[in-house]
Amino acid sequence: MESIQATKQRFGIIGNDTKLNRSIEKAIQVAPTDISVLVTGESGVGKESIPKIIHQLSHRKHGKYIAVNCGAIPEGTIDSELFGHEKGAFTGATQTRSGYFEVADGGTIFLDEVGELPLTTQVRLLRVLENGEFIKVGSSKVQKTNVRIVAATNVNLFDAIKKEKFREDLYYRLSTVEIHLPPLRDRKEDIHLLFRKFSSDFALKYKMPTIKLTDDAINLLLKFRWSGNIRQLRNIAEQISVLEQNRTITGPTLQEYLPNTGTNLPAVINTSKSESDFSNEREILYKVLFDMKSDLNDLKKLTMELMKSGNATEVQKDHEGLIQKIYGEEDENEISTEDLEVLSISEKSSETYNSPDDTQDKYHFAEEIEEEETLSLHDKELELIKKSLERHQGKRKLAAAELGISERTLYRKIKQFDL
């Protein structure tokens, strides 16, 4: 079995982190077998190196090795790319085409970003993993293939399974052995080593002296989060190598090339509300509505008293408690007799304006003033209906129009009061 160090030299892997070494060791161990492997890790950690190691150290090393970026192929054509199609299978299919699984027979297929596969393609892939069978698009003939599948993803497939975006049975088929590559921020001792390697490579490529970091620049390099991992580190090294005239890089100079990810980040707000929160809000809303209804009824009662008596001072004295309830204790002194008189006059004007018949309005107003204060709302309603029916000689349509209600409602009231 090839050693870890020899494998790293052969495939150009830089670093001595224990987690990285363990991942390479697992790749070396599973290479001679045909079991499926799932490589996980963040974007930019170098997941593409693991399937190359597995292929080159296996008995399939003389067969085809095809790397497929599943996220880069449109959903409508990915089945054709992977499994091929027959002539005339769809618009533009002018000839029969062999897919990757047919071309790579006897070799290895690396499915990068496998979490991006459509569900229909996942079903086809599951069949290949189970018995090596596939069907071309537009064909009914079952074909066999003997390929080894190594998949990679930077998304959490368990979350994708919960959201029903990835098949659980396919996940367990792919992840017979799972190899996880650590992010660069967890490989502190490798960061400067990688930067030096990249700087040396770019100096050779662009035929210029190699850049070097001062101590404060090295400290800044190690403290940075590197969310883009090795890919981001390589990009920064290339920028500095090309742009900086001074080949000794200080901390402030390096800082200019590092994205400022520590500020202006959006605040994380929990917008989810529990059922109890909604229940409490609903109860508060109901209480406010009921209180408003009660205050409105009290205000109507106070207005009616003003209309009957015409004496605001007397009404204020007799209904002091009601006024405090409506307007609050803190506003008690601000409620003047003039305010109540204005309220009374406004109500009278409104009643007169909205009535279809001024003569009938005056009649109703006079009748209401003559009513005794002891009458209940039920009695007042009954009296008004009786008088309206008498005035219109029992004609419900005219009486309903005068009362401001529908004829159907008046009919129901007549039955209710047994008139």
CATH number at 405 reads 1.10.10.60
Residue 159 backbone phi and psi in degrees, to 5: -65, -40
233: which residues sit within 8 A by CB, 6+ positions away? 184, 191, 194, 195, 198, 226
How far is the C-alpha of 22 from the C-alpha of 44, rounded, in Å?
A: 18
Asked whether residue 365 is assigned to any structural domain, the reply reads: no
Mean pLDDT value of segment 81-105: 93
State which H helix or E strand residue 297 sits in: helix 275-309
Q: What does pTM read for this prediction?
A: 0.62
Residue-wise pLDDT tens digits, 199-209: 999 999 999 99
Asked whether residue 379 is assigned to any structural domain, the reply reads: yes
**320 and 283 in one domain?**
yes
| DSSP state for residue 104 in the 8-state scheme | T
Which comes out higher in pLDDT, residue 74 or 315? 74
**49 and 127 in one domain?**
yes
Q: How many CA atoms lie within 13 A of 71 on its CB side?
A: 11
Asked whether residue 270 is assigned to any structural domain, the reply reads: no
Mean pLDDT value of segment 114-136: 95
**pLDDT given at position 286:** 67
**pLDDT given at position 418:** 75
- CB of 212 within 8 A of CB of 200? no
| 8: CATH | 3.40.50.300
How far is the C-alpha of 161 from the C-alpha of 155, rounded, in Å?
A: 11
In sequence order, the β-bridge partners of residue 212 are 248
**pLDDT given at position 282:** 65
**331 and 233 in one domain?**
no
Residue-wise pLDDT tens digits, 228-260: 999 999 999 999 999 999 999 999 999 999 997
**pLDDT given at position 372:** 46
Q: Is 343 a residue whose pLDDT tops 60?
A: no
How far is the C-alpha of 13 from the C-alpha of 52, rounded, in Å?
A: 12
Asked whether residue 367 is assigned to any structural domain, the reply reads: no
| Burial (0-12, 13-18, 19+ Cβ within 10 Å), 249 | buried
- Which residue, 182, 213, 245, sits at the end of a domain? 182
**pLDDT given at position 177:** 96
Residue-wise pLDDT tens digits, 297-309: 777 777 777 666 6
Residue-wise pLDDT tens digits, 218-227: 999 999 999 9
- The CA-based angle 270-276-277, given to 5 degrees, is 45
**290 and 240 in one domain?**
no
Q: Is 411 a residue whose pLDDT tops 80?
A: no
Residue-wise pLDDT tens digits, 1-52: 679 999 999 999 999 999 999 999 999 999 999 999 999 999 999 999 999 9
Asked whether residue 292 is assigned to any structural domain, the reply reads: yes
State which H helix or E strand residue 39 sits in: strand 37-40
In sequence order, the β-bridge partners of residue 253 are none
DSSP 70-134: GGGS-TTTHHHHHH-B-TTSSTT--S-B--HHHHTTTSEEEEETGGGS-HHHHHHHHHHHHHSEE
- Which residue, 119, 151, 182, sits at the end of a domain? 182
The tally of domains found in the chain comes to 4
How far is the C-alpha of 248 from the C-alpha of 338, rounded, in Å?
A: 87
How far is the C-alpha of 198 from the C-alpha of 220, rounded, in Å?
A: 17
- Which residue, 182, 202, 233, sits at the end of a domain? 182
Mean pLDDT value of segment 98-102: 95
**pLDDT given at position 350:** 47
Domain of 417 in residue numbering reads as: 374-419
**pLDDT given at position 316:** 65
**pLDDT given at position 194:** 96
**253 and 131 in one domain?**
no
**250 and 297 in one domain?**
no
**219 and 171 in one domain?**
no
- CB of 101 within 8 A of CB of 161? no
**231 and 151 in one domain?**
no
**175 and 26 in one domain?**
yes
Residue-wise pLDDT tens digits, 357-404: 554 554 454 454 444 444 466 677 778 888 888 888 888 888 888 878
- CB of 187 within 8 A of CB of 19? yes
**109 and 235 in one domain?**
no
Residue 181: strand, helix, or coil: coil
**125 and 46 in one domain?**
yes
Which comes out higher in pLDDT, residue 406 or 232? 232
Assign 3-state DSSP to the chain and report helix, strand, coil percentages, each to 5.
60, 10, 35
Residue-wise pLDDT tens digits, 143-196: 999 999 999 999 999 999 999 999 999 999 999 999 999 999 999 999 999 999
**pLDDT given at position 266:** 47
On average, the pLDDT of the chain sits at 83
Residue 400: strand, helix, or coil: helix
Residue-wise pLDDT tens digits, 308-328: 666 666 666 666 666 666 655
**pLDDT given at position 90:** 87
